[in-house]
Structure 1
Amino acid sequence: MGFAVMTLTAAAAERVKTVIKASDDATGIRVSIKKGGCAGMEYAIDLAREVNPKDDRIERDDAVVFVAPEAVLYLLGTEMDYEVTKLRSGFVFNNPNQTSACGCGESVELKPADLAKLAEAGNPVVRVD
């Protein structure tokens, strides 16, 4: 048994499917974390053209998102959404491991998830492997 890394909202799943459909060779999108920005870390989203067997695979309504192994501890319990406003549109991460964000919203500070705390809380995102 293990924790599902993250969930997708219906809006995020629809956007992922649109992005994949527009690509000739993508099998999904890959979410990772990279160092950068004023707060120290940034979410990175790329087309996944090859399946990495070490990636976690998240699916909803035929939308496929892969999570890079080095990002798993930072993304546990995260909900990935897609938001459209008057000024911008893009993926939004509702991440319980985020401790702060920079003023412009481009970078975040993340801490690794507390696995013991998740297990104690009876985390509803538990899956059976």
Structure 2
Amino acid sequence: MGITLTDTAADRMRSFLAKRENSAGVRLGVKTTGCSGMAYTMEFADEVDVGDTVFEDKGVKLLVNAKSLVYLDGTELDYVREGLNEGFKFTNPNEKSRCGCGESFNV
């Protein structure tokens, strides 16, 4: 299935990446935390790590390690503005539920 970006998310990521020299892309993952068990992570990646799967969508390279890929496969990232808040939104078909504050999820 893979991981995909909306046009808005791709535009935003490309603008961030253009300000960084020698970036390998954006690393996506999950970590254990929160009241529901897991939270999404996103950071710049300077290199591709052994075991990373690399997806490219709309000119953006997305790097995901094997542990996180099982939870993220099929996810679409969007960049949304809701009132005064803005940020990346993960639409993940593997999610079974989210906590009330929306910061963590479980599968």
Partner in structure 2 of residue 27 of structure 1: 24
Task: Indicate whether 1:100 and 2:97 are aligned.
Answer: yes
Following superposition, the deviation at residue 32 of structure 1 comes to 0.6
1:55 matched residue in structure 2: 52
Q: Return the alpha-carbon distance in structure 1 between the equivalents of residues 41 and 97 of structure 2.
A: 17
CA contact (8 A) 1:27 1:49 kept: yes
State the SS of the aligned residue for 2:12: helix
Q: Deviations over 1:24-73 (max 9, x none)?
A: 34221100110001111000001101112421112122111111211111
Q: Which amino acid in structure 2 is aligned with residue 17 of structure 1? A: R
Root mean square deviation, CA, Å: 1.3
1:68 to 65, 70, 79: 65
Cα distance in 2, alignment partners of residues 68 and 92 from structure 1: 20
Q: What is the percent sequence identity of the aligned residues? A: 38
CA-CA distance at 1:82 after TM superposition: 1.1
Kept in 2, the 8 Å contact 1:16–1:64? The answer is no
The residue type paired with residue 104 of structure 2 is S
For structure 2, the 5+ residue unaligned runs are none
- 1:84-115 CA-partner distances (Å, limit 9, x unpaired): 222311111111110111111111112xxxxx
Are positions 1:41 and 2:38 aligned together? yes
**TM-score normalised by the chain length of structure 1:** 0.76
One of 9, 14, 17 as aligned partner of 1:17? 14
Unaligned stretches of 5+ residues in structure 1: 111-129
After superposition, residues 104-123 of structure 1 pair within 5 angstroms as 104-110=101-107
Aligned to 1:77: 74
